[in-house]
Copies of this chain bind each other. A is one copy, B any other.
């Protein structure tokens, strides 16, 4: 028990210092380790296994919606990056530049991709000629680099893993439909697989992706009341096609510019999982992406028959979920703390008395509820518990978001709400002017998160200037 205590003591509590709690969890749950390159981390086996599960579910959803995986180079020549004016303006300041190959200075410097629109455009120009070549529905799983000043594991790192979808369509309608479809896929994935409730909406003009006509996003609210953008889906119109001179002959044999989209989700989803579901004992993992869904802990394992029975139980569970056993010589208490830290959704305890009674104890991670169940149908009971965890953590997260979502009709009300209740989403009306958007941020500290698809008519006046309101916005501080 001494070790258990040590372990639990080692985490800062959320209320004391949320930022410190977050990095403690990242380190103690063995998700990451720092390296000598600032902002670049090692994703350790346990962290990477979460990412592999995220990949596997999303990849299946992408393939079911007709997408194919490809792989573009990681280098973009400076001249290629510059072809679309808004795009280069957005990304050049945070590019990492390769200037030497071996001992030779390159004739043209290459940036390490911060995103790959320009590479896909170059490729599309090479392979798309006729309407028969459309649509192109591509995705790639790679890492990208953005030279950020301040960095935090998963949330903002100089290199991060992601998937980037890039699609090309004959018409604007099809491209818009795709942009919306993929936002829907992201929403479904976040809510069902990660148990993270999200608000779907559109970014304001000033907050769009560099080069996009529209940026859709899903926004989640973390435990501390700060918002996190969990995924984005961009509609480009034919802007990139014109910049890169991509044309196809349509059914009437006329040269036409195609319409384009891109959409991405990143390893920051792991940060979102930590900050949405975690608690003072560590991680709480959504079952769908948990590397271990059920951990069997033998009690009094030195007693005859316990280890055998526990191993048998683990083998049975391994047929229906990702089950493991810890038969090391650490104490049960140490193991409890260890797997709570690692966020394993269901703990399965089995000791001599349980064996005698043909039973075991199931403990769900998020509420530490204990249930004694018969060994006869233990597989079904564990699966039921996994679903209970998923629902339970989704409901807690939703409850947290609702409790922390405030309505404000004036700038003063924004400030009052934040002072009284702490950070959260502010719902407030907006006239549509960038000037007001900037002013709200300057005065109250909260920025626009999105124009939600589900609009409400809170008042008919802009929260800032009092002129007629166009949209209700979600505002908040963001990661």
A45-B69, A70-B45 given as contacts; is B35 within 8 A of A123 (CB)? yes
Q: Which residue of B lies closest to A35 (CB)?
A: B73
A375 beta carbon closer than 8 Å to chain B: no
For residue A147, which residues in chain B have a CB less than 8 angstroms away from its CB? Answer: 101-102
Q: How far is the CB of A131 from chain B (nearest CB, A)?
A: 14
Q: Which of B97, B122, B123, B161 contacts A71 (CB 8 A)?
A: B161
Within the assembled complex, what's the spacing in Å between the Cα atoms of A473 and B158? 47
CB within 8 Å for A93 and B103 given contacts A44-B70, A48-B69? yes
Is residue A110 within 8 Å, beta carbon to beta carbon, of the partner chain? yes
A190 to chain B, nearest CB (A): 22
Shortest C-beta distance, A145 to chain B (Å), equals: 7
Q: A73-B35, A138-B45 are in contact. Are A101 and B96 (CB under 8 A)?
A: yes
Number of copies: 2
Chain B residue contacts of A112, Cβ below 8 A: 74, 98, 112
Is A150's beta carbon under 8 Å from chain B?
no
A73 touches B159 (CB 8 A): yes
Within 8 A of B (CB), among A44-85: 44-45, 48-49, 51-52, 68-77, 80
Complex CA–CA separation, A41 to B74 (angstroms): 10
Given A123-B35, A126-B33, A127-B33: A145 in contact with B74 (beta carbons within 8 A): yes
Chain B residues, Cβ within 8 Å of A72: 35, 42
Q: Does A455 reach chain B (CB closer than 8 Å)?
A: no
- A102–B98 contact, CB under 8 A? no
Instruction: Name the contact of A37 in the complex, choosing from B70, B75, B96 (C-beta under 8 A).
Output: B75
6 residue pairs of the A-B complex, CB under 8 angstroms, read A35-B123, A36-B122, A43-B71, A74-B112, A74-B159, A101-B147
Q: A381 contacts the other chain (Cβ, under 8 Å)?
A: no
Contact A73 B41 (CB under 8 A): yes
Q: Which among B36, B70, B96, B142 is the interface contact of A42 at CB below 8 angstroms?
A: B70
Contact between B99 and A97 (Cβ–Cβ < 8 Å)? yes
Inter-subunit contact B97/A100 (CB<8 Å): yes
Take A96-B100, A102-B147, A159-B75 as given contacts and tell me if A123 and B33 are in contact as well, using a CB distance cutoff of 8 Å.
yes
> Which residues 409-442 in A have Cβ within 8 Å of B in the complex?
none
A241-253 contact mask (Cβ, 8 Å, vs B): 1 or 0? 0000000000000
Taking Cβ atoms with an 8 Å cutoff, the residues of A that contact B are 33-37, 40-45, 48-49, 51-52, 68-77, 80, 92-103, 109-110, 112, 119, 122-123, 126-127, 138, 142-143, 145, 147, 158-159, 161
Residues of B within 8 A of A158 (CB): 101
Known: A44-B70, A75-B159. 19 other contacts (CB 8 A): A33-B126, A35-B72, A37-B75, A41-B73, A42-B70, A42-B73, A42-B123, A45-B70, A48-B69, A74-B159, A93-B102, A95-B101, A97-B100, A98-B99, A99-B99, A99-B100, A100-B109, A101-B158, A102-B147
Residues of B with C-beta under 8 A to A75: 37, 40, 96, 159
Bound together, the chains give a CA A73 to CA B157 distance in angstroms of 11
How far, in angstroms, from A92 to B101 measured CA to CA in the complex?
10
Cα distance, A147 to B169, chains bound together (Å): 36
**A43 / chain B contacts, CB cutoff of 8 Å:** 70-71
Chain B CB within 10 Å, residue with most, of A42, A123, A126, A142: A42
CA distance A44 to B147 in the complex (A): 29
Contacts of A126 in B (CB 8 A): 33-34
Q: Which residues of chain B are near A102, meaning CB under 8 Å?
A: 92-95, 147
Nearest chain B CB to A158 CB, angstrom units: 8
- Would you give the shortest CB distance from A330 to chain B, in whole angstroms? 11
Residues on the B chain within 8 Å of A119, using CB: 35, 42
Chain B residues within an 8 Å CB radius of A101: 94-97, 147, 158
When chains A and B are docked, how far (Å) is the Cα of A326 from the Cα of B122?
Answer: 29
Residues of B within 8 A of A142 (CB): 143
Give CA–CA (A74, B160) in the complex, Å: 10
Residues of B within 8 A of A94 (CB): 101-102
User: B97–A37 contact, CB under 8 A?
Assistant: no
Bound-complex Cα distance A138 to B101 (A)? 29
Residue in A69, A97, A161 whose Cβ sees the most chain B Cβ within 10 Å: A97
User: Do the beta carbons of A73 and B37 come within 8 Å of each other?
Assistant: yes
**Distance in Å: Cβ of A351 to nearest Cβ of chain B:** 25
